Amino acid sequence: MGGTGIAATTLWFLARLIPQSFPQGTTLSINLPVLAYTAALALITAVVFGVGPALITTRSDTASVLKQGGRSVSSGGGRLRGFLIAGEVALTIVLLAAAGLLLRSYTQLRHVQPGFHAGGVLIAETVLSPASYTTPERRIGYYQSVLAQASRLPGVVSAAFSSFAPLMMKGGRMAFLIDGRPAPAPNQQPPQLAVDRAVSPGYLATMGIPLLEGRDFSDRDTATSPQVSLINQTMARTFWPNESAIGKRFKVGRQSVTWITIVGVMGDVRQINLDKPSDAEFFFPLSIGSTGIPFLWPRQLILRAQGDPLSQAEAVRRIVRSVDPDQPISSLRTMDDVIDQEFAGRDTQLILICTVAALALLLASVGLYGVLSYTVAQLTPEIGVRMALGAQPGQAVAMVLRRMFVWVGLGLVTGLVAAGLLARFIQSFLFDVKATDPVTLGGVVGLMLCVALAASWLPASRAAAVDPIQSLRAD
Q: For residue 1, what pLDDT band results from cuts at 50, 70 and 90? A: low
Q: What is the per-residue pLDDT across 213-235, written as a single tens digit (0 to 9) for each?
A: 999 999 899 888 899 999 999 99
Closest CA to 303 of 201, 197, 151: 151
Does residue 272 contact residue 167 with C-beta atoms inside 8 Å?
A: yes
Q: Which amino acid is at 181?
A: R
Q: For residue 266, what pLDDT band results from cuts at 50, 70 and 90? A: very high
Q: Which residues contact 39 (CB under 8 A, 6 or more apart)?
A: 4
pLDDT of residue 341: 86
pLDDT of residue 73: 45
Q: Measured between alpha carbons, how far is 229 from 265 in angstroms, rounded to an integer?
A: 9
Q: Which residues contact 147 (CB under 8 A, 6 or more apart)?
A: 159, 160, 161, 200, 202, 301
Q: Which residues contact 418 (CB under 8 A, 6 or more apart)?
A: 90, 93, 94
Does residue 199 contact residue 217 with C-beta atoms inside 8 Å?
A: yes
Higher pLDDT, 209 or 330: 209
Of 177-181, 211-215, 341-345, which range is least confident? 341-345
Q: What percent of the chain has pLDDT over 90?
A: 33
Q: What is the per-residue pLDDT across 24-34, written as a single tens digit (0 to 9) for each?
A: 555 666 667 87
Of 8-22, 294-308, 373-387, which range is least confident? 8-22
For CA atoms 89, 95, 101, 103, give the dihedral sign: negative
pLDDT of residue 72: 46
pLDDT of residue 41: 80
Does residue 379 contact residue 463 with C-beta atoms inside 8 Å?
A: yes
Determine the average pLDDT of the residues in 59-77. 51
pLDDT of residue 161: 95
Which parts of 10-57 are beta strand (E)?
A: none
Kindly tell me if the per-residue pLDDT of 194 is higher than 80: yes
Q: What is the per-residue pLDDT across 287-305, written as a single tens digit (0 to 9) for each?
A: 887 776 677 789 999 999 9
Q: What is the per-residue pLDDT across 378-421, written as a single tens digit (0 to 9) for each?
A: 776 777 777 766 767 777 777 777 877 888 889 999 999 998 88
Q: Measured between alpha carbons, how far is 387 from 396 in angstroms, rounded to an integer?
A: 8
Kindly tell me if the per-residue pLDDT of 190 is higher than 80: no
- pLDDT, mean over the chain: 82
CB atoms within 10 A of CB 212: 13
Q: For residue 119, what pLDDT band results from cuts at 50, 70 and 90? A: very high
Q: Measured between alpha carbons, how far is 462 from 465 in angstroms, rounded to an integer?
A: 5
pLDDT of residue 74: 47
Q: Where are the domains of the chain?
A: 75-114+344-475, 127-329
* Pairing relationship of beta strands 228-232 and 260-266 according to DSSP bridges: parallel
Of 183-187, 260-264, 450-454, which range is least confident? 183-187
Higher pLDDT, 27 or 148: 148
Of 108-112, 305-309, 462-466, which range is least confident? 462-466
3-class state of residue 47 by DSSP: helix
Query: Is 0.85 surpassed by the pTM of this model?
Result: no
13-22, 196-205, 371-380, 463-472: which is most confident: 196-205
Q: Measured between alpha carbons, how far is 318 from 237 in angstroms, rounded to an integer?
A: 44
Kindly tell me if the per-residue pLDDT of 182 is higher than 60: yes
Kindly tell me if the per-residue pLDDT of 239 is higher than 90: yes
Kindly tell me if the per-residue pLDDT of 70 is higher than 50: no
pLDDT of residue 373: 77
